[in-house]
Structure 1
Amino acid sequence: MLKRISAYNLAGVLLLLSWAVPHGILWIDLDDHLFWLFNAWISPENPHWADLLAVLNSRAFDAISFGILVLLFTLAMRRDTREDRVRHWTAIGVTMLITAGIVALITNEAISYGHPSPTRFFEHAARLTDIVSIPTKDSDANSFPGDHGLMLMVFAGFMLRFADRCIAGWSLAFVVLLSAPRILVGAHWFSDVYIGALSIALLLLPWVLCTPMAEGLTRAIRQSLPRLPLRH
């Protein structure tokens, strides 16, 4: 158990060190290159691409993203063969929400560093909101760490711990797919997600998922649910 936690934590520390020393030059170059690569496509000459990006970064698509996670969660529950699977997965869901809240709280309280999104950092960057009429998000005053990506990683971590390989694999795929729109539009740097969010996930989640903590809290919550009208 401790070996697994140490391995994940070491990966998180090394990831942070690769960003901080020496001055994160490799990640800075990658961030700049990827931003300008994607930003070049945000133009009135590519109206269909601009509209698609606007939709993918809208509040409506955030709701769709949440729906995708709910669907994966439901599939994970249905593929479970135990008799009390509804009660069991309800308890997992509550444990996951508690963990996500604590991770968000620790992140907000412990991390004082922040920086603006690339669309705010670069004065001459193309802004999606200047091109489309669809209400959308293309910038952030503080985009580090990528909170959207971090919550996706919390979900994927729980699926890796409790679901089968198929659901876990899809959960990992959706971390990439559902966090990509923010990067494509310039609301986040690449490193906001794959340095900031990923390093936090590697440092914090193993202490919940690789120890008896998640299983114990899930068991305690499940035992508190017998009077609810839950059927297998």
Structure 2
Amino acid sequence: MYELDAAATHAINNLAGASTAIDFLMVWVSAMGVPLLVLAVAGQWWRRTGRPQTRHVLVAAGLSFLLGLALNQLILLFAHRMRPYDSGVTHLLVAPSNDPSFPSDHATATFAIAAAFLLHGMRRPGLWFLAAAVLVTASRVYIGTHYASDVLGGALTGIVAAFLVRAVYWEGTRADRLITSIL
């Protein structure tokens, strides 16, 4: 299984270096993707149409984001995977990281947001967030910081977090009405 993962990771990372413009774009997406998605979510708080439901989904997306990253911290208690550039699988386009490779926090965060929107019925923005999540996660392998399975594991953690939030945070409850009425 490792050989397949390393081969897929190497194939994606091997595209790096062919185009300076694409390399720059992928480094930028990797660095700015998560903050821009968070801003895109937060900026919808003042949206005029469908305000209560939109705000409920925004809170659910934020909770999914946080829960996904918390789940990653639990996983890191048991998994200490070396980065692919330390194993000689990839060449790195950015500064090295001291954190373990599995799971990818970027993948977790972006897929948690996309899954929250999709699970709560906001299909159009959910699909846009999903496209952004795929781009951010692909950039992490492209620039050499993660194995392909790291981003798949992170995506799965984000999706699981969104499902858990969907199961316990219901629209229209007293807590939901209180949170969504702020500002």
Structure 1 residues 225 and 51: alpha-carbon distance in aligned structure 2, compared to 1, 3 A threshold: closer
Q: 1:180 to 1:78 in 2, by over 3 A?
A: farther
Cα deviation code 1:71-110 (max 9, x no counterpart):
5x469x5553xxxx1x543344334323332332232124
Tell me if 1:150 matches 2:108. Answer: yes
Identical residues among aligned pairs (%): 17
Confirm or deny that 1:223 pairs with 2:174: no
Kindly provide the amino acid, as one letter, of the partner of residue 156 in structure 2. Answer: S
CA offset at residue 162 of structure 1? 2.3
SS in 2 for 1:145: coil
One-letter identity of the residue aligned with 2:176: R
Alignment correspondent of 1:93: 58
Distance 1:183 1:68, change over 3 A: farther
* Mapped pair 1:67 → 2:39: yes
Which of 209, 214, 218 is 2:169 aligned to? 214
Aligned AA (2:67): I
1:34 partnered with 2:12: yes
1:120 has 2:86 as partner? yes
Residues 226 and 61 of structure 1: CA distance in aligned 2, closer, same or farther (over 3 Å)? closer
In the alignment, the residues of structure 1 paired with residue 165 and residue 181 of structure 2 have an alpha-carbon distance, to the nearest angstrom, of: 27
Counterpart of 2:29 in structure 1 is: 56
Given residue 122 of structure 1, which amino acid in structure 2 is its aligned partner? G
Between the aligned partners of 1:52 and 1:168, the Cα distance in structure 2 is 23
Distance (whole Å) between structure 1 residues aligned to residue 45 and residue 181 of structure 2 = 21
Asked whether the equivalents of residues 65 and 178 of structure 1 are also in contact (C-alpha less than 8 Å), the reply is: no
Write out per-residue CA displacement over residues 30-61 of structure 1, whole angstroms, 9 at most, x where no aligned residue.
Answer: 223333x224x26xxx4444433443344x56
Match 2:70 to one of 98, 102, 105: 105
TM-score by length of 1: 0.62
| CA offset digits 1:196-224 (Å, max 9, x no partner) | 11332454433332x3x1215x6333332
Would you say how many aligned residue pairs link Structure 1 and Structure 2? Answer: 182
The structure having more radius of gyration, on CA atoms, is 1
> Where in structure 2 are there 5+ consecutive unaligned residues?
none
> Match of 1:215, as an amino acid?
W
RMSD of aligned alpha carbons: 3.2
TM-score, normalised relative to structure 2: 0.75
Assess if the C-alpha contact under 8 Å between 1:145 and 1:192 holds in 2: yes
Contact 2:15–2:142 (Cα < 8 Å) also in 1? yes
Structure 1 segments unaligned to the other structure (5+ residues): 1-22, 130-136
